[in-house]
Amino acid sequence: MAIPVKRGTDEPLLQKQTYSQSWASGWQYGEEWKGISPDKMMAKYNGLKYAVQSAKMTVAKGVADLVMEWAVTPLGNYGDRASIEITQDRWECPEPRMEKDLLNHPQFLAIWNATGVSYSQLIDIISIIRRNAESQKSAGQSTRREVDMINQVGAVYDAIGKELPGADALEKALRFYRLYVNDQTHYQSSQFALRHTCNAPNYWGLNRADVGVNCIYSPARFMSEVTDGGLWYFPLPGRLQYKLSAAASGLAASTPTRNNFLIGWLKSASPEVTVAKGRIEIQTGYVLDQWSTDVYSAVS
């Protein structure tokens, strides 16, 4: 077979530039090079392989081809690979499953709230119930212990001039009490939460996730942040706005009011992870609950 004759410069020559964008993986820039010197193409490959997203070099019949991709979009002419300042936003509603104290279950508290007791009086009542339940767990089952507990709670009601819950409500309260005595001291609480993932260039210096960490956002303040078009390129979509607003309203309607507590969204710190060469993901979480304002500050 005849040996091919190569003419012209043996320097690598740029053949094609490509630009692409995906909301899942970000902006991509690609170059295709061709050259009649595999050695010079290999030198180019070795000089750039750690700076690009991907690189592939092939040699066929003495001609070298090199394809490279960057995780950025260049500005201006070839050689200027500074990334456009833009991020991709992903919104998710995970389900945080938490265990909560059985004696703080909303239905159990509602039994006593229905009698018109104040929050401080409710605390006394729950303390009496808990103390008796813990004592009964140690001493074994005893119907007499339940009677003693009801008498002690009744004394609180006598002192404040109110009546105990009716027979049906009181029996329901005793069922909660018996569950607690039998070591079912907690219940699963599936709460609403929001997780935002920001896919950004690895040199990205701005992110709303760094503001208000470990603070309580009121439902209105929370919605204002996650729907702000100046903070996110893709703000919280309408479907999730409706869903999470309804969740906050439902929690407020079903949860007894407590002094020094606020129903809202607790914002967490934001972990970061490298997902590809040149790009990172920053996650921000919000969890809806009734939070203590002594433990967490409210966002101003």
Q: How far apart are CA 3 and CA 6, in angstroms?
A: 9
Within 10 Å of residue 32's Cβ, how many Cβ atoms?
15
pLDDT in tens, the chain (300 residues): 566 666 778 899 999 988 887 765 667 788 999 999 999 999 999 988 777 778 999 999 889 999 988 766 544 444 444 444 466 788 999 877 788 899 988 889 889 989 999 888 998 999 999 999 888 877 665 667 888 889 999 999 999 999 999 999 999 999 999 999 988 999 988 789 999 998 877 766 666 677 899 999 999 999 999 998 887 878 999 999 999 999 999 988 888 777 889 999 999 998 988 886 667 888 999 999 999 999 999 997
CA distances from 71 to 55, 67, 146, 212, 299 (A): 12, 14, 67, 30, 36
Q: Residue 26 — left, alpha, or beta (φ > 0 → left; ψ -120 to 50 → alpha)? A: left
Q: What is the pLDDT of residue 78?
A: 43
- pLDDT given for residue 249 in this prediction: 94
In order, the DSSP letters of 213-274 are TTEEEPHHHHHHHHT-TTT-SSPPPHHHHHHHHHHHHHHHHHS---TTEEEEEEEPP--EEE
Q: Count CB atoms within 10 A of the CB of residue 71.
A: 21
pLDDT of residue 21: 73
In total, the chain counts a number of residues equal to 300
Determine the 3-state secondary structure of 79 from DSSP: coil
21: Cβ contacts below 8 Å, ≥ 6 apart? 27, 28, 73
Strand ranges of the sheet holding 54-60, from the earlier edge strand across to the other edge: 13-22, 26-35, 63-70, 54-60
Helices (H) and strands (E) in the chain — how many of each? 7, 13
